[in-house]
Structure 1
């Protein structure tokens, strides 16, 4: 049995995985969605990693899945314990020692987002509905009230203190409709920083909410 350690993005709400968890469990695996205290000024990337490590303590076959800013937590977890594979979903992919605050300019994220917005004919100004919830069922989105929280500055300012990515299979996957981190950006970053090709699944930046079945199938395929 594989244990999927599901790491959320900014804000740290494990709720973002709530539609994927039962699908992985129905397939005979364990899924652990880790809640991270994104609004706590006393906790940052090292503390996030410690929480993930504690959540999967005692498991042997762990697949680490990091969504969005969760990509900055994943390599710290892999540096602390063995993992079978890494999956980065619509993720920020750090270099050793980089901060999440530095990442945006380093990869040209803002320019890529604006270019995609102009080509796609949707607003350039970042808006929750336009960039994150545009493909999420309104009832699903409404169920998240009370779960989401802001991400304080500490996690963006703390260097991602790891030496190298683990020597295990690493998969980069994007929601083909991601407006926040467009596919062309993610493909370039995956090649430059990980040396891997980008896979695609249906959905936008929050594909775990909009297309959980397709995402779960992809994650199960990683194990196969």
Structure 2
């Protein structure tokens, strides 16, 4: 008797603040070429009436009736993704250079409550980075033309979600992995590693790339995501 082939995952890709689904286009193409369903999500980030709950609603609407879900959240998407995982069955959550909240924490307070600001100042001093040089902060590993295109795809970011307490009482019961980019200047890797250990008890993995590593290293990132999916524990009951 032959063993049935495993069901391929659906990768749900959540962008960070002031970003749209374009930031995932190279990774999405790579995953689709490997036979995966991919859902790059556009959040209502420019809508002043939309908060974290509405962001999660947008993700869930994009998912529709899909199952076998692997949610990948970039940067500020780390505040939205666990809410999604609390509302629908998700088999794998990957925080890609993601912010990690705690219950009741407002995103606007995260920068100070985590020690991020001090870590960034130390990182900037080591790199000799000028405060207004956004290219060296976000796209220091990208070719200039791709970096320029990334900035052209930037969106307005409304302030409402930053003033809302993170609504969950605890991290959802979903297999979670944390993946960092070792050349990330926006989210210093040493800081992010400590935060993952302290808040989730997770030892993060690292790969090359700046804060937009999904653009600079889509093939390696796809490899990592497939490995995470293959290594996940039994999916939670639906």
TM-score bracket for the superposition, by shorter chain length:
over 0.9
- TM, length-normalised to structure 1: 0.95
Aligned to 2:3: none
Between the aligned partners of 1:157 and 1:75, the Cα distance in structure 2 is: 18
Question: Contact between 2:17 and 2:157, CA under 8 Å: does it hold in 1?
Answer: yes
Equivalences for 1:137-216 in 2 at 5 Å? Answer: 137-144=143-150, 146-216=152-222
Where does structure 1 lack aligned partners over 5 or more consecutive residues?
none
Deviations 1:164-217 (A, max 9, x none): 222222101101100011111110100011110010011011101111111111
Between the aligned partners of 2:162 and 2:19, the Cα distance in structure 1 is: 13
CA displacement at 1:145 relative to structure 2: 5.4
Between the aligned partners of 1:116 and 1:194, the Cα distance in structure 2 is: 23
Q: 1:99 aligns with which of 106, 109, 115?
A: 106
Equivalences for 1:32-111 in 2 at 5 Å? Answer: 32-111=39-118
Deviations 1:126-147 (A, max 9, x none): 5311100111122222333552
Count, aligned residues: 223
Taking only aligned residues, the RMSD between alpha carbons, in angstroms, comes to 1.3
Structure (1 or 2) with the larger CA radius of gyration: 2
- TM, length-normalised to structure 2: 0.90
Structure 1 stretches (4+) deviating beyond 4 angstroms? none
Between the aligned partners of 1:221 and 1:24, the Cα distance in structure 2 is: 13
Question: Contact between 1:62 and 1:84, CA under 8 Å: does it hold in 2?
Answer: yes
